[in-house]
Each structure stands twice: as C-alpha cells, then as structure tokens.
Amino acid sequence: MKRPGNFVLFLGLIGAGAMATLFANLAMSKPQTVRLWEGDAPGALGKAEEDIPTITVYRPGKNNTGAAVIICPGGGYGVLAPHEGKPVAEWLNKIGVTGIVLKYRIAPKYHHPAPLTDVLRAVRFTRAHAKEWKLDPERIGVIGFSAGGHLASTASTHFDEGDKNALDPVEQISSRPTLSILIYPVITFTEPFLHHGSRNNLIGEPSDKPAFTELTTSLSSEQQVTGNTSPAFLVHGANDTVVPCENVLLYADALRKHHVPVELHLYENLPHGIGIGNKNLPSGTWTTRCEEWLQARGFLTPK
C-alpha cells in the first residue's frame, strides 16, 4: 500500500498557519472539521455548505491505538442521519479508534459519482495525514449505516491504488479501506431486494437504457466483489422491513466465494436505523461483537 505523499507540498498548498491550528486542535482531541478539497470538490455545483464535503475528526484520548474508521451516516442518499455520525465516533473513541465522520454530497443536488468520490477522498486524505494525526495508514477502515453502508461497500469494491502522476499528493495514495463495517446496509440495486429510495436518489429513476443497466450492476456491491475487496463485518435485522436482510446475505456470500474474510450477525429483532443501539437489548450487542472482530483482526493493536 502506498504511503502518504509529500506533506511539505501539501502545507504549501493550503497554508501552514491553517494546518498548524488544525493539528494543534487534533492533538488536544478536540473535534475538528476539515474540507476534503481546499478548492472546489470534483463536480461541485456551487460553493454553499452542501457543495463542500468534509470530515470531522474525533480523536481518542490516551488509549489511541492508531486505527481510524471513516463513518458514513445513512439517510437514503437524501439526508445524513445525525445519530449515525457523532455517536458512532464517540463509541470508536472509547475503544481507542479515531472516528472520522464524513459529510458526503447527497440528493437532490448530487448524485453518483459524487458520494463515492467523497468517501474515497476521505480514505486517501486520512492516510495523507496519518503521521500528523498519529495514525497507522495500514489501519484505516470504513463504517456505514443503511445507504451509508452502501457507500462504504462501494468504497470497498471501487477503490484504486492512487495515481502516482497526480499533481495533488493526496490523489497519489491508495483509497482502499483496510476493512469495512456495514450496519443494515443497502447492498444491491437490483430487484427484488433493493431499497428504491437510495437507488433513485443516487442514480435516478429506472430506465431501459443500457447505461442505466450498467450503472445498476456497477453499484450492486455483491456483483463487484473480488479477492481484494476489504474484509467485512456485517450486521442486519432479520425483521428489517426497510432494507431486506437479503442485502447482507448476498454480500456475505460473494465475499465467501472470493475468500474474503467476513463475519455476519443476523439479529432476530434489529430495527432499521437503530444506530449504536441500546446495549441492554440483544440487538445492542453488535458493537461488542464488532470490537471483538476488530481485536481479532489486529486492528486495535498499537504499532
């Protein structure tokens, strides 16, 4: 995996003073919001807040393991659910992981490929600043909920190793997530198990044009798995009436067939949109199971 690019050049591009303030805040574990691009993001349609993808970095205290997870809140690609953002970062902080909440571009103003561009940039950007943020660039994961789970799964299947000829040093770095955590995710864009709202917000209403069919296939993550797809921890409710649990079953089966490590937890009663959940309920134990999985994979071991 490629290491972060020339940080000196990056400082020159965006201003040493601004970056010094940023890193001082991060060192004090104060949440800090950072633009993913100093100028306009690719495909930007304006300069309002909704046009600017950002990450908000939540650092753990003295228990920092050096691992980080980029958080993709759900919301059907039309909103970003707050309870699937900051609370997730706070849970990750408790286990020594830096939680990075991604504000990605959404409908009705933005469609594919804007959200995917944003999450892949977030992975690269985090790796580019691994040294300054006291992170291990080899331990940068993604977590997503519902449509955010779809985004995290597409990051795990549509990444690249970076463009060594790119003028932007961040773009020279790999965007492959080390692992993915997908919670009641949308996975497929094909019938009969797709979530129509997420599909329509991301790529539009169904069409009989070949281009629509090709895009539907490309964004059905179970059809894009290879042996290099990121290992996955999957959680879903068997009773989910919003996004059928067949979504994770399809993805788990594809990962298994390609010999990609996968762990699946299918709860009898896990309501869609539960977020972190209540640990006093059976469905609220998924975070504990996830911590065990991360530990077993060495993701929580300081290096």
DSSP one-letter string for 195-252: -HHHHHHHH-S---SHHHHHHHHHT-GGGS--TTSPPEEEEEETT-SSS-THHHHHHH
- Could you read off the pLDDT of 202-222 as tens digits, one per residue? 999 888 889 999 999 999 999
Does residue 301 fall inside a structural domain? no
- Could you read off the pLDDT of 176-204 as tens digits, one per residue? 999 999 999 999 999 999 999 999 999 99
User: Distance between CA atoms of 104 and 70, rounded to whole angstroms?
Assistant: 11
pLDDT at 28: 45
Is 102 in contact with 53 (CB distance < 8 Å)? Answer: yes
Does residue 15 fall inside a structural domain? yes
**11 burial class (0-12, 13-18, 19+ CB within 10 angstroms)?**
middle
Instruction: Kindly give the parts of the chain with pLDDT less than 70.
Output: 1-29
Does residue 236 fall inside a structural domain? yes
User: Distance between CA atoms of 160 and 172, rounded to whole angstroms?
Assistant: 10
Here the CATH number for the domain that contains residue 194 is 3.40.50.1820
pLDDT at 270: 94
Does residue 303 fall inside a structural domain? no
Distance set, CA 162 to CA 43, 273, 289 (Å): 19, 34, 33
pLDDT at 280: 82
- What is the DSSP code (8-state) at residue 101? E
CA-closest candidate to residue 88, choices 66, 54, 58, 111: 58
Per DSSP bridges, beta strands 67-72 and 97-103 are parallel
Question: How many domains, in total, are found in the chain?
Answer: 1
pLDDT at 158: 99
CA-closest candidate to residue 157, choices 246, 202, 218: 218
Does residue 112 fall inside a structural domain? yes
Alpha helices in the chain (DSSP H): 7-14, 16-27, 86-94, 114-128, 147-157, 196-203, 210-218, 246-257, 286-296
User: What range does the domain containing 67 cover?
Assistant: 7-296
- What is the DSSP code (8-state) at residue 39? S
pLDDT at 275: 96
